[in-house]
Amino acid sequence: MSPSWGVGHNDACEDLYFALKGLVPELYRVGDCVAPRKVDMAIHEGYIAGKRV
């Protein structure tokens, strides 16, 4: 399998998430992996995910 992480400006970058899903004990989707948005949403989601681990 050779995933490509280059995506267009309006596409979610979720290839890495699905490549790792099931291979690691915990995995969270944040930022552009969920949907392309502004950086403040990615920071907030990263903070929430960080509190879970």
DSSP string, the chain: --------TTS---HHHHHHTTTSS-----GGGT----HHHHHHHHHHHHHH-
Distance CA 42, CA 49 (A): 10
Global pTM value? 0.63
**Mean pLDDT by groups of 10 residues along the chain of 53 residues:** 53 84 93 86 92 91
pLDDT given at position 31: 85
Handedness of CA 4, 15, 32, 50 (dihedral sign): negative
Distance CA 30, CA 48 (A): 9
